[in-house]
Amino acid sequence: MAAARRVLFLLALVLAGLVAVHPGLGGVGETNGRPAVSRSGTGPLFDLPALAVGSSSTRTVTVTNSGTAAGVFVFGGTSRGSKPLAASLLVTVSSRGKTLYRDSLARLGTVRLGVLAPGESRAYSFRLELARGQNALQSAAAAADFSISAAAA
């Protein structure tokens, strides 16, 4: 019976470098009077091939404005795969004790992270959790692509 209560889900949430940037916005490594995005770490934000019902995963990423102008930084994401699973996954984005987003992965669009001055860094916490009682979603799979972009402030 313990297996019935603990359902594992195939879930690969991959973050494309966390710095995929919209072509019209400040880009990675661009420093010509524009904000630019850099972040701590490499690889995906989450890679959870077997997320159990009732469990969660949290990652902290430091985002830095490596450009030469202040920028408005935005986190965005799109999901694909099982819509019911994406709707059941709760995403929380927070920084400095303030919750910036707390809703389902399915509803995630863009989240304003704030303004960063040139050279300024800020830590952001990203939490993903699957609520209890989601046994009907066993074997469902979902994925998400996340990005952080910057535009001139």
What structural domains does the chain harbor? 16-152 (2.60.40)
Asked if 137 and 88 count as a contact pair (C-beta separation under 8 A), the reply is yes
One-letter identity of residue 43: G
pLDDT for 45: 85
pLDDT for 4: 31
Beta-carbon count within 10 A of 71 CB:
26
How far is Cα 19 from Cα 14, in angstroms, rounded to an integer?
12
Give the residue ranges of the chain where pLDDT is below 50. 1-31
pLDDT for 27: 45
pLDDT above 70 covers a percentage of the chain that reads 79
pLDDT for 49: 79
pLDDT for 19: 35
pLDDT for 30: 47
Beta pairing class for 8-11 and 48-52: antiparallel
The CA-to-CA distance between both ends of the chain, in Å, stands at 55
pLDDT for 32: 61
